[in-house]
C-alpha cells in the first residue's frame, strides 16, 4: 500500500477495499449503501456528449498539487467559508456550540478550525452562503430522483449522466448500482476518473459505463508517485484492459508546467495510448492548468500550489507532438488541426 494512502486510511477510516463505507452526515459511524457527494451540476456540456448532469463524488485517494476540485479530496463533509460573502451578522458565533466562530474588534468574522466539530449548524443559519457544508450522503433512489428531472433533455440532446469528483471510483459499488439504474432507462453513462485503483475494485462500475474519460498524467512512474502519491502502474494496466474490452474512451492529460509540459513527455503518452487504448479511443485531450482550485482550497483552509498557465502557443506545440501518432487531439476543448503543407 502506498504511504500516502496508508496515511489517508488512518485519517478517514477508509481503505481501497472498503471505500464504499462513508461517514454519515452527523459525523458518526460509517454507513454502507450510500455515497458522499459534494455537488450535482445540471445542464453540463463539458463532461461528455449532449446535455448532462454531473454528479461530483467526494473523496480521492490521490493528492494532485494542481487539483481543481480540492473540496472533493476529503471523504467527509467539510465547512467552506467564503469571506467575500460574509456580512458580519454574527449568527454563526451565536449558534456554534464550541465557539469556533467569532467577531474581531473590527466586526470581521474569525474561524478557529481547530475547535470546529463539523456540526454544520453555522451553515444552517448563514443566509448569505458565506458558510457552506460541502458534502452530503445520498442513496441511489435519492440521487436518481434528482437525475430524472432532466431525463427529457438527455434524450433530446444525446446526453446523460456523468460521475466525476473527487474520484468516483473510490465509491465504485455505488457507481455501478447507479449506472445500472440509469442504463435500465436507456440513459447514457459516463465517468471521469484517474483509473489509479485496483482493477477488481473498479471493473464492475466500468462495465456499466458507456464512456470512460480518464487521466494519464505522465509515463514516469517515479514522478507520478513522488508528486501525486501513487505509482501510475494501475493506470497503465487499466488502460490496456479497457482497450481490450472495447470501451469508448477519451484520454486526457492536464498540462502542468514543470511536471509534464515537454514535447517528449506528451509524445510518450500519446504513443502509449495509440498502441494500447484500442480503436475505441475517441480522442486525446490536453487540458492546460488553470488556478480555479486555489480559491476553493483557501476557503477550506487548505494550502495549494499555484502554477503558471500554459500559453496557447505552448499547447499547440504539445498538440503537434501528440498528433504525430495519428490520434485526434484537442487542446482545452478545441480540435487541433495540423498544418497541411502543399
Residue 208 to residue 317: CA distance in whole angstroms: 37
Q: How far is it, in rounded angstroms, from Cα 194 to Cα 56?
A: 14
pLDDT in tens, the chain (342 residues): 333 334 444 443 444 444 444 444 444 444 558 999 999 999 999 999 999 999 999 999 999 999 999 999 999 999 999 999 999 999 999 999 999 999 998 889 999 999 999 999 999 999 999 999 999 999 999 999 999 999 999 999 999 999 999 999 999 999 999 999 999 999 999 999 999 999 999 999 999 999 999 999 999 999 999 999 999 999 999 999 999 999 999 999 999 999 999 999 999 999 999 999 989 999 999 999 999 999 999 999 999 999 999 999 999 999 999 999 999 999 987 777 654 333
Name the grid cell of 114: 481547530
Phi, psi values for residue 137, rounded to 5°: -95, 145
Phi, psi (rounded to 5 degrees) for 268: -65, -45
Q: What is the rounded CA–CA span in Å between residue 304 and residue 306?
A: 6
Burial bucket for residue 64 (CB in 10 Å: 0-12, 13-18, 19+): buried
pTM metric for this prediction: 0.88
Helices 263-276 and 312-323, packing angle to 10 deg: 40
Task: Give the span between the Cα atoms of 319 and 336, in whole angstroms.
Answer: 7
Amino acid at each position: 500500500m502506498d504511504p500516502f494512502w496508508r496515511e489517508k486510511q488512518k485519517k478517514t477510516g477508509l481503505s481501497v477495499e472498503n471505500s464504499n463505507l462513508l461517514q454519515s452526515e452527523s459525523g458518526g459511524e460509517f454507513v454502507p449503501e450510500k455515497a458522499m457527494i459534494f455537488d450535482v451540476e445540471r445542464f453540463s456540456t463539458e463532461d461528455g456528449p449532449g446535455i448532462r448532469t454531473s454528479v461530483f463524488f467526494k473523496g480521492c485517494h490521490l493528492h494532485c498539487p494542481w487539483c481543481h476540485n480540492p473540496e472533493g479530496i476529503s471523504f467527509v463533509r467539510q465547512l467552506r467559508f467564503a469571506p467575500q460573502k460574509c456580512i458580519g451578522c454574527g449568527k454563526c458565533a451565536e449558534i456554534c456550540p464550541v465557539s469556533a466562530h467569532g467577531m474581531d474588534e473590527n466586526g470581521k468574522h474569525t474561524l478557529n478550525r481547530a475547535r470546529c466539530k463539523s456540526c454544520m449548524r453555522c451553515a444552517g443559519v448563514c443566509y448569505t452562503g458565506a458558510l457552506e457544508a460541502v458534502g452530503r450522503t445520498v442513496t441511489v433512489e435519492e440521487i436518481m430522483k434528482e437525475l430524472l428531472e432532466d431525463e427529457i433533455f438527455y434524450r433530446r440532446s444525446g446526453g446523460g449522466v456523468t460521475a466525476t469528483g473527487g474520484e468516483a471510483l473510490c465509491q465504485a459499488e455505488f457507481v455501478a448500482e447507479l449506472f445500472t439504474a440509469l442504463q435500465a432507462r436507456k440513459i447514457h453513462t459516463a465517468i471521469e476518473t484517474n483509473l489509479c485503483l485496483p482493477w477488481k475494485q473498479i471493473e464492475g462500475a466500468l462495465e456499466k459505463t458507456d464512456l470512460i474519460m480518464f487521466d494519464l498524467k505522465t509515463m514516469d512512474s517515479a514522478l507520478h508517485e513522488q508528486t501525486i502519491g501513487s505509482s501510475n502502474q494501475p493506470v497503465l494496466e487499466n488502460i490496456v484492459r479497457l482497450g481490450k474490452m472495447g470501451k469508448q474512451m477519451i484520454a486526457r492529460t492536464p498540462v502542468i508546467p514543470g511536471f509534464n509540459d515537454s514535447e517528449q513527455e506528451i509524445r510518450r503518452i500519446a504513443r502509449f495510448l495509440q498502441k494500447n487504448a484500442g480503436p475505441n479511443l475517441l480522442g486525446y485531450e490536453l487540458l492546460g492548468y488553470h488556478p480555479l482550485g486555489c480559491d476553493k482550497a483557501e476557503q477550506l483552509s487548505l494550502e495549494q500550489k499555484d502554477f503558471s498557465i500554459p500559453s496557447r502557443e505552448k499547447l499547440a506545440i504539445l498538440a503537434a507532438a501528440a498528433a504525430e501518432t495519428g490520434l485526434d487531439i484537442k487542446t482545452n476543448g478545441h480540435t487541433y488541426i495540423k498544418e497541411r503543407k502543399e
